[in-house]
Copies of this chain bind each other. A is one copy, B any other.
């Protein structure tokens, strides 16, 4: 039995519709010329909280029972998932407990606070995060909503590809989504294989954090020892559940180096006038790095988010 089906994704889409944006698909003739193919960018940088994470967080929160919901939700994250979970909880006026490392950037702390998330700081180690979260859930009764390796979160992220299938007049030849923890890619692959059977699904990963690529090609889940990439949203290790879904449903994973990711990000900022974070530019960077694979094709690329510190840009 598949842990996430197209029916789960359709149900998620109905569930989250009142709370998230149906984001537009945008194109740029200048970028098409530069890339040698026709690209349709799904703009999740324009999503609530500035990232696709709003989809999975809302779906997971909305699937809780009233009794569970009343006690609130919790997670450990310093990124977009934390802000997304805080926003989802705020609709129901229940607490979102967010465990963050004490060295988290001020901008991330501010984002979670802006959505009324209750932050508990801990030491900047994985062990401290997990033990702090566990104690917090035990004390409050809050439900832990993990950032990516959970069926409800994956189904929520998969609604991105459901919308792509609905919004595109002609099916794309390729759907490209970035892969970090793997929730977006896994969810999109399930939706795409059900709705766009002739579309290749390809994961886009930074060369400096390519555990999904190595796992996919070896057929065995590989750890991510020391990620080193400008794409801060994709430094996380591939989730184990996501690994199995990706192994079954995804056609390939390709990587791009940081120089090309930054070049792609600059192209989007200057040509499309859209603020995308480095992780969101990895799909375009993969196209620019593997031109022959995409030449002349119709390519749908997910811009995963737009949360970037505009005072410290990578150029």
Contacts and interface: CB of A to CB of B under 8 A. Distances in A.
Interface centre among A24, A269, A270 (most CB of B within 10 A): A270
A275 interface: yes
A311 B45 CA distance: 21
A313 interface: yes
Interface in A2-58: 24, 26, 30, 45-46, 50
Query: A interface, how many residues as a size bin?
Result: 20 to 34
Interface of A is mostly: mixed
A276 interface: yes
A273 interface: yes
In the assembly, how many copies of this chain are there?
2
Contacts of A172: none
A273 B274 contact: yes
Contacts of A311: 315
Contact of A275 (B24, B30, B50, B269): B269
Contact of A45 (B46, B266, B273): B273
Interface in A234-293: 266, 269-270, 272-276
A276 B275 contact: no
A310 interface: yes
A30 to B, nearest CB: 8
A97 to B, nearest CB: 23
A306 interface: yes
Contacts of A45: 273
B270 A273 contact: no
A152 B214 CA distance: 59
Interface of A: 24, 26, 30, 45-46, 50, 114, 266, 269-270, 272-276, 306, 310-311, 313, 315
- Rank and list the top 7 A-B pairs by shortest CB-CB distance, nearest first: A273-B306, A273-B275, A45-B273, A269-B310, A269-B275, A46-B273, A50-B273
